[in-house]
Every structure is written in C-alpha cells, then in structure tokens.
Structure 1
Amino acid sequence: MSSSRAAAPIAVLLYATAVIAGGASAENYDHLKDPISALMAGYGGPFWLYLLFGLYNGLLLLFALGLKPGSRAGR
C-alpha cells in the first residue's frame, strides 16, 4: 500500500479522534446538536486540537495527491 493510500484510514481515525476529544474538552459543545465547525468557531480550542485538525488536513492532502491521474504504481 502506498503512503498516499495509507493516509486515508489514518486521516479518518485522526478526524474522529479530534472531533470526539475536542467535543469532550469544550464546555458548551453537544455532539448531537452542534456542528463540528462549532468546535473551532468562537471556541478558541486548545493547541492540541488545532494540531490534530492540521495533521488531518495534511493527510487528506497527501491522499488527494495520490489520486491524481498517472499516480498508479507501475505507470
């Protein structure tokens, strides 16, 4: 499995972790009522939450770059 393909499942786990941990650390956040964007908007969350979402975005970019035409192994 190439590194770009391996990035996808890691990104999903990282995103879920960021949302669950971020929601647990926010006082007025409700996972069932509030959108995920509310974790960052007006919350000013802790540094580790910004870091987790930043890592997720990096992994998503790596995966997307692997999807470009002609990126298959053996071509």
Structure 2
Amino acid sequence: MMEPVADEQAEALLYAAERSLFDATVRLEQALAALGQRSKPGAKAKPTLEQARLWSSLIQAGLVKLEQRVERAA
C-alpha cells in the first residue's frame, strides 16, 4: 500500500495530467474548427490539418493506454 505522501503526489500528478490533456483536447478542437472554416469542400487536406488529425490520434491512443494501466492497477 502506498504511503499518504505518495498517494498525494500521485493524485497531484494525475490531476496535472488530466488538466493538460483537457487543455490539449480543447486546443485541438479549436484548431480543427479553424481549419474547417478555411477549407473548401473536396479540397485536399493540408499538412496542418493532417498534423491536427495526428495529434488527435495520439491523444486518443494515450487515453486508451492510460485506461488500460488504470484497469490493471485496480
């Protein structure tokens, strides 16, 4: 069993990670919305849009991995 100090540190780290992930997700959504407003129907995706999609995939993969680790730890 973890000591109280370790529990508090782990809780603080998890909160910071959650906040960072939330902030990154919001910024990604804003970027995608801005790119969507500029793009024309049928136009080829620009590198910026592809980069935003890549970041979206990375965030989703990270969430899945985190969930798996939490389930194993429980």
- Above 0.5 in TM-score? yes
Please list the CA deviations of residues 20-67 of structure 1 after superposition, one character each: whole Å capped at 9, or x if unmatched: 122121134xxxxxxxxxxxxx43121011001101110110111000
- In structure 2, the gaps of 5 or more residues are 1-12
Return the offset for 1:70. 1.4
Moved over 2 A (4+): 1-8
Q: Calculate the aligned-residue CA RMSD, in Å.
A: 2.6
If asked which structure has higher relative contact order (CA below 8 Å, sep 6+), I would say 1
User: Whole-Å Cα distance in 2 between the matches of residues 71 and 6 of structure 1?
Assistant: 21
Please tell me whether residue 9 in structure 1 is matched to residue 11 in structure 2. no
Change (3 A) 1:46 1:19: same
Name the count of aligned residue pairs: 59
Structure 1 residue aligned with 2:72: 70
| TM-score of the aligned structures, taking structure 1 as reference length | 0.56
Percentage of identical aligned residues: 10
One-letter code aligned to 2:43: Y
1:8-47 map, 5 Å:
8-28=21-41, 42-47=42-47
| TM-score of the aligned structures, taking structure 2 as reference length | 0.56
User: Whole-Å Cα distance in 2 between the matches of residues 14 and 46 of structure 1?
Assistant: 18
